Amino acid sequence: MSINVGINGFGRIGRLVMRAAQKNPNIKIVAVNDPFIPVEYMEYMYKYDTVHGRADSVVKANKEAGTITVGENEIKVFGEMDPSKIQWGSAGADYVVESTGVFTTTEKASAHMVGGAKKVVISAPSGDAPMFVMGVNQEKYESSMDVVSNASCTTNCLAPLAKVVNDEFGLKEGLMTTVHAVTATQQTVDGPSQKDWRGGRAACYNIIPSSTGAAKAVGKVIPALNGKLTGMSFRVPTANVSVVDLTCRLDKGAPYATICAAIKAASEGPMKGILGYTDEDVVSSDFISDTHSSIFDQKAGIALTDDFVKLVSWYDNEAGYSTRVLDLIAHMESQK
């Protein structure tokens, strides 16, 4: 029996979650809410995608009925600003993916339950909701948790890598840099950005240094690494796919080849499907639509000494992350 899911916010992650659901027989999208996107425009936005190409399924909007049909799946469309007014229950949605980027606290996200949702997964870091990264700490989930966070795309890339390294060699301390593709929060040309002046500069023409809490968040999902990692970001003019550079000092030194072997073993074993591994001469576009959370690049990393290494891992910050959102929902359902 499929798991009924609603999506709040039909932006990049909302649409990619819907696309991922079309490939997952255990997930059924039953409703979408977005007050800014009419149903006929939803059809267009879902059908065409600059990065990931045309949708595999036939898409058809019905303005009169307030629905959008993807393949054979009819989806109810709402247009509410206030999440407490969305009638998720009427559509049969048990889980809601909160992907607006606005309702990221437990209190705000809990408003979805007023309309009948039973569980909410926030597709962003949260200041107070329990945070989970599949392959790293999902076993900590308890059925009493109604609102959870799937962390960020960068944390989903870094945490599996950090877990393997820490489990096998001990991660003494580390600095992370993510070279990150542009996102919708950036400006196409120079514009106002009061909280982040550099972030207001033209995304297509600049490499933009930025802050990120992704590395520190690893300490929330792997308590043993709390206070041992921090990081920063460079936003670069590519549409999708980002890469993490983890420069770290190890407790137990090992040749770079041994470290790579441990990561490869994890990618073929307990983290299969979440952590990938490549030893080919790849570039960022080779990972478009890759559904792994993190793909370790054996040829890109380097070691100064046995206990001081730079590890490189790629991630499709849209498709990989969206797939994990549904994986987390499936895990939550299995724990009922």
69 labelled binding-site residue: no
Any binding-site annotation on 12? yes
Strand partners, 198: none
Which backbone phi and psi does 268 adopt, to 5 degrees?
Answer: -100, -10
> Can you point out the beta strands (E) in the chain?
3-8, 27-33, 59-62, 67-70, 73-78, 95-98, 119-122, 147-149, 171-181, 208-211, 229-236, 242-250, 275-278, 294-297, 302-305, 308-315
Amino acid at 27: I
- Is 152 one of the annotated binding-site residues? yes
| Residue 106 annotated as part of some ligand binding site | no
CA dist 56 and 193 (Å) reads: 37
Structure tokens at 97: 């993916």
Q: Using N-to-C axis directions, what is the helix angle for 319-334 and 12-22, rounded to 10°?
A: 60
289 among the known binding-site residues? no
- Name beta bridge partners: 173: 249
Is residue 260 annotated as part of the catalytic site, yes or no? no
| Cα–Cα distance measured from residue 46 to residue 39, given in angstroms and rounded to the nearest whole number | 11
Q: What share of the chain is helix, strand, coil (3-state, %, to 5)?
A: 30, 30, 40
Q: How far apart are alpha carbons 106 and 147 in whole angstroms?
A: 6
Cα–Cα distance measured from residue 33 to residue 234, given in angstroms and rounded to the nearest whole number:
32
Asked whether residue 213 is marked as a ligand-binding residue, the answer is: yes
Q: Which residue is catalytic, options 153, 157, 248, 260?
A: 153
| Residue 183 marked as a ligand binder | yes
Specify binding-site residues for NAD(+). Answer: 12-13, 34, 123, 317
Active site residues: 153
Specify binding-site residues for D-glyceraldehyde 3-phosphate. Answer: 152-154, 183, 212-213, 235
